[in-house]
Amino acid sequence: MGRLNALLLLLPLLLLLLPATEAAENVAGSKPNIVFVLVDDWGYADVGFRNPAIKSPMFDELAHTGLLLDRHYVFKYCSPSRASLMSGRWPHHAHQWNIVPQTVPLGLNLNFTAMPAKLKQAGYSTHMIGKWHLGLKSEDYIPVSRGFDTMTGFLTGGEDHFKQTVECGTDFWTDRAPDHRNGTYDAYTYRDVVDQLFEAHSAEDPFFLYLSLHNVHTPLEAPEEWLDVYPVNSTCKSRRTYQAMVSIADNVTALVVKHLKEKKMWDNTLIVVSADNGGAPCSGSNYPLKGCKGTFFEGGVRSSAFANGGLIPQSMLGKSVEGYIHIADWYPTFCGLAGVDPSDSGPGKFPVDGVDVWPLLSGAANASTHDEILLGFNFTESDPEQGAIIVGDYKLVVGSQKASCDSLMYSPLDYPCTQGPAAPDCDPNCLYNIREDPQEKNDLYHSQKAKA
């Protein structure tokens, strides 16, 4: 491994030696800094603490020394998870489409008060880096119209990582104007923006960063210096590229942590890291969970997630939270930490569905605050009968899930590049005790129809 590659991997480890010093500005009652890192199409097993083939030292350390969010749920693909995060609603109360094609007038309901707009009411500076995927038909939908002070990134659902092109155009923006830094690997530009944001920010002011990384979404692309971190994979070339893309996401996150510590903001920070859905079929590994992105099986909707930061009580660090959390819960949780009313009622919008999970994170409560989680419900013409709900220990999955490359059939180190055998599907529905059977191997639907 070259000297540059070694330094790239050592950076996160060196950061961990930085003390979380007590900052004078972190007086009692000050508003905490909030960072949310969303990793795109990140497989459940595609992180070092679950898979030694992946080099992700910062993710590993944040999970080990913070809180592992073991039952964190999202939607089965990109845009609806983001809509839930930004609005606090279940996906079927926000939207369940993936906003394709790009020109249709769809996006996050303009009647909703988006998360950054709520936080601005509490005096936060609000910043977004990366993928939006919540509407672009008019300026009303874009991030700086929804409460973000600044935004650098792209508005669609995916693009070339090096050229920032999608279909026949370039999609790369800063605030409301095209950003002509396109042509550089996107995560490298995002690192530059992270540096700029922290250089300009006063540590006395509350800070919100939504780091919505494009990695590890297709197209699978990575610079040579990161490919060289990994040996040529015995399974296939694309898997090696995917692994490198995870390491890049880890590296950008490490830079954020570095700045938070150097600016003495860490002691008053909550950082949450999550996937937006399970790993994509035939590229990400969701082992040992069943299914993949695009399904309501656990491999599609139970995400890798963890939290850290000085805001979390010392007594909770190094633990695993087993209570249910949905990505919509971060809206009322962040509002609560900021001292803002999370309610958002009014004409043309459903009320907020998420619940404040800070009692679960802080140790004030030891049980889930959710009686049920509605993962999705009858939403598209192509899949009109699909849906899923969790109630207590049980999960009902409705309709054919059309899973492919089922990661139950492969170890995380040997995930295939070609289309694998489909997962056993629901006929017509499935019922699982996901506490006793997290791999969803034992379908109880026909034996316990009354419960279903």
* Burial of 17: CB neighbours in 10 Å, binned 0-12, 13-18, 19+: exposed
| Closest C-alpha to 306, from 258, 361, 251 | 361
| Closest C-alpha to 231, from 220, 223, 243 | 243
CA distances from 270 to 115, 311, 313 (A): 15, 6, 11
Question: Which residue is catalytic, options 78, 405, 426, 430?
Answer: 78
Give the integer Cα–Cα distance in Å for 447 and 431.
9
Active-site residue, 133 included: yes
Query: For helices 186-200 and 237-262, what crossing angle results, to 10°?
Result: 10
H/E stretch holding 209: strand 207-213
Cis, peptide link before residue 438, omega less than 30° from 0:
no
Give the integer Cα–Cα distance in Å for 227 and 243.
8
Question: Which residue is catalytic, options 72, 92, 95, 133?
Answer: 133
Active-site residue, 78 included: yes
Q: The tokens of 306 are what?
A: 């963890």
Quickly list H helices, 202-265.
224-227, 237-262
Q: Which active-site residues does the annotation give? A: 78, 133
